[in-house]
Amino acid sequence: MEHARRHPEREVVLKLRSKPSEHTTHIEELPYQRLAERARGERPANFRLAYGNMGEILNETDLLVTVSSTAALESLHRSVPTAVLSDLGIREPLGNHYFIGSGCFASWDELDAGHLPRPEPAWLAEQGVGVPHEGAFAAARARLDALLERREEGGLPPLTPYYTARTAPGYLPGVLARHGLDIKGEPAAGHQDAPAAEAGMRAASRRLLRRTARGAYRAGVQRVAPLIRRWGQL
């Protein structure tokens, strides 16, 4: 909103991941909708919230600003100037360390002053972004074509998985057992004999447990944790 006030000639759009009633993978402690509602009286006329398809928003965008998001890759692929904010630091918990070397890092002060980051062509090429379709991951495509050709000729080497009974004896058996396989990767004895009704009941119980756990986690993050923090500030 401060950027919108500094640039009244621009339309500043806050693109939101989902509407308040929709469930998302990322649970936000303070949804942007709530923050915007709190600052409703301070909201400049050229600032608005937006939902929907990211591509449609990018079609009318001359600068995308994000802390860390795949939206930045969409933006870069469309040759839209893209800024990855450095205000909160460049660190793994934020996920913005992925953009090291991209040339996209910028602070709000720089953006307020009119700076438009210029992405590094070599970094874009490494990510397969902004290059012609036939040139993206050309080496990987060539390698895959060669392997497919060898398979047709019957010359592919056997698979050599990283996890084996020798390298991961405390991990691999449990993973295979959850899929009804023994340590050799073959169907485990008695696994197919389990009644279908019992298997269906277990699956339904797991789904119910997951939904309950997600609801409890969401309530804890969005309601309980903020209360505890506020109490701690008294």
State yes or no: pLDDT of 49 exceeds 60: yes
- Going by C-alpha positions, the residue among 42, 36, 54, 35 that lies closest to residue 5 is 42
Q: What is the pLDDT of residue 117?
A: 95
Q: What is the pLDDT of residue 28?
A: 67
Q: What is the pLDDT of residue 135?
A: 63
Q: Please write the tens of the pLDDT for every residue from 105-145.
A: 999 999 999 999 999 999 998 888 876 656 667 778 888 89
What is the distance between the alpha carbons of residues 86 and 65, in angstroms, rounded to a whole number?
Answer: 11
In order, the DSSP letters of 35-98 are HHHHTGGG--TTEEEE-S-HHHHHTT-S-EEESS-THHHHHHHTT--EEEE-TT-S-GGGTGGG
Single pTM value for the model? 0.60
Q: Please write the tens of the pLDDT for every residue from 164-214.
A: 888 898 999 998 988 888 888 888 877 665 555 566 677 778 888 888 887
